[in-house]
Amino acid sequence: ATDRVVDEGESLPFTVSDCADRPGYDRILLVRPTHFDVTYEINPYMGGDVDRERAMAQWRALRDAYDRYADVAVLDPDDSWRRLDASGGETAATAEPARPTAHPDLVFAANLGVPTADGDGFVLASMATDERQGEPAYLETWATDAGYEVFDAPADTFEGTGDALWHPGARLLWGGYGVRTDRAVYDELAARLDTPVLALELTDDRYYHLDVCLTPLDAATALIQPEAFTADGLARLDEVFETLLEIPVAESHEGMAGNAHCVDGKHVLLPADNPETASILADAGYEPVPIETGEFEKAGGSVFCLSLEAGTPR
């Protein structure tokens, strides 16, 4: 199609079928929650005391669930630190010493970067908040070691797959901006990833990332939270997807229902305690797989945020 950004309100210069095919990824990267805690508030959901043992148990159950549908890879932050240290890398020399709570949000893998269309590399994130600056270096180390190609972060702030979501089966990227990620990033990503980008503006900080209000399920269907989008943004979603399934507002506000993940075009891992969203998915022919993520919801994240899709390194 093109390799430029199409903004809301602009008429679409192509259809999804004009976009090149993009095979699905077969790997899910998770980050072991050794640093996880809630020690600051950078989104409106954050707060409460984390029960570390429960968090670890929930993370293990999430890993086991993903493991049923994909090849799971685990980034162990402490391992990355050991390697950074051993290599005498610049990051190791300038970063603070490893301690369990050095990066409390370093469990939300989605924010560390975005996979390339072929899945053989990642473009690193550039976090919007001071608190999370140190995190993308962990993906850089892990991905380099694992044989992926790693591209520098764009010049402006970019929170990875939290805001940049590939359309299932197509070389087409959805790009959320306005809260954490800058709109300007997508000009760079369109060129770097050789893909058209459909930009979607986010204006409400309850929907601080695109992945809390848009879950592409397959090439024709998406689960969305309509109140997160502008009228033009909604019109774009409606134009590109044949079917939009709508999340009840209460389940977005209280249950992070929009942070779901369709791993194989059928099974949808979603935060537990969202019965209406689960039945909407089931009625549409998907198989909801509820996952308890209560401890991670205290940081404002759930299933999708905790994962990063990847392909196979070359």
Binding site for ligand ARG (CB under 6 A): 42-43, 46, 105, 108, 110-111, 132, 162, 209, 211-212, 299-301, 305
Pick 46 or 184: Cβ nearer ligand ARG: 46
Phi and psi angles of residue 100, each rounded to the nearest 5 degrees, phi first: -55, -30
Q: What is the nearest approach in angstroms of ligand ARG to the Cβ of residue 44?
A: 9
Q: Are 153 and 127 in contact (CB under 8 A)?
A: no
Pick 218 or 297: Cβ nearer ligand ARG: 297
Q: What is the nearest approach in angstroms of ligand ARG to the Cβ of residue 9?
A: 25
Q: What is the nearest approach in angstroms of ligand ARG to the Cβ of residue 25?
A: 17
Q: What is the nearest approach in angstroms of ligand ARG to the Cβ of residue 41?
A: 9
Q: What is the nearest approach in angstroms of ligand ARG to the Cβ of residue 34?
A: 16
Pick 32 or 132: Cβ nearer ligand ARG: 132
Pick 110 or 222: Cβ nearer ligand ARG: 110
**CA quadruple 5, 8, 9, 12: dihedral sign:** positive
Pick 50 or 299: Cβ nearer ligand ARG: 299
